[in-house]
Amino acid sequence: MSNLDFIYKRHSVRKFKNDAVPMEDIKEIIKAATYAPSGKNKQNWHFVVIKSKEKIEGMANIIEKKNSELASYTQDKDMAQAFTKYVKYHTVFRNAPIVILLYAGPYPATGLDLLKAKGASNDEIHDLLKASPGIQNIGAAMENLLLASANMGYGCCWMTGPNYARKELEEYIGFQKEGYFLAAITPLGVPEESELKSPPRKSVDEVMTIIE
């Protein structure tokens, strides 16, 4: 048994049992998420916990509707089909007892004000923001949430696929906090399958470069 078992036992879970998740477990999982590091300790995250089956189904319906609306904007049948066939992966939270929405709040990228003061081009500004520290904070929190859940016997699935329906989902959920927007979603519940699997990984040699 390696000390890293808690890493390797996390898998994306897309099917759930009906079992309820006690509120104290949800709170413990979210507490673990908040122990993620964040730039300047800004903790620019907010977790919205959806317990209503009806709301969860409503979210899935909104995504399906937006998916077919977007697909209707092209005459290219292959492009439309390539998009619509993945809608099931954008609604995998549908049968979960709990859905957690992770909202991202403002996080000013270091140096942005000065770039703007210099009259930097959009390209220069985009180049600074493409490694957005604000979103990296959210990613760290989400990973903690996933690892904590798996360690407590629950399953999750980090989801950004539904983000094309962000505005509609935000309006439907009705959560508002100045400068915050919906960044990612995860279902939370007891996995239906007992043997969980993940797709294969690239080898360490492929993804690592050593500079001596």
Ligand X SMILES: Cc1cc2nc3c(=O)[nH]c(=O)nc-3n(C[C@H](O)[C@H](O)[C@H](O)COP(=O)(O)O)c2cc1C
* CB of residue 63 to ligand X, shortest distance in Å: 10
Check binding of 149 to ligand X (CB under 6 A). no
* Complex with ligand X: residue 90 or 94, whichever CB lies closer: 90
30 vs 41: CA distance, rounded Å? 17
Q: Which of residues 1-20 bind ligand X (CB under 6 A)?
A: 11-12, 14
Residue 143 CB contacts under 8 Å (≥ 6 apart), including other chains: 36, 158
Given 3-state DSSP classes, what are the helix, strand and coil percentages for the chain, each rounded to the nearest 5? 50, 15, 40
Among 83, 158, 164, 172, binds ligand X (CB under 6 A): 158
Task: Pick the piece of the chain touching ligand X (CB under 6 A) from 58-66, 75-83, 99-107, 159-167.
Answer: 159-167
Token output for 146 = 């996933």
Check binding of 172 to ligand X (CB under 6 A). no
β-strand partners of 103: 46, 182
Site map (CB under 6 A) of ligand X, residues 58-97, x = contact? -------------------------------xx-x-----
* CB of residue 205 to ligand X, shortest distance in Å: 20
Check binding of 22 to ligand X (CB under 6 A). no
* CB of residue 74 to ligand X, shortest distance in Å: 21
Q: How far is CA 58 from the centre of its chain?
A: 18
Token output for 43 = 């903790």
* Complex with ligand X: residue 27 or 85, whichever CB lies closer: 85
How long a stretch of residues is the chain? 212
Q: Where are the alpha helices (DSSP H) in the chain?
A: 5-8, 23-34, 53-71, 77-84, 112-117, 122-129, 133-151, 166-173, 204-207
Check binding of 160 to ligand X (CB under 6 A). yes
Contact 86, 7 (CB under 8 A): no
Among 161, 187, 189, 191, binds ligand X (CB under 6 A): 161
Check binding of 157 to ligand X (CB under 6 A). yes
Contact positions vs ligand X (CB under 6 A): 11-12, 14, 89-90, 92, 157-161, 198-199
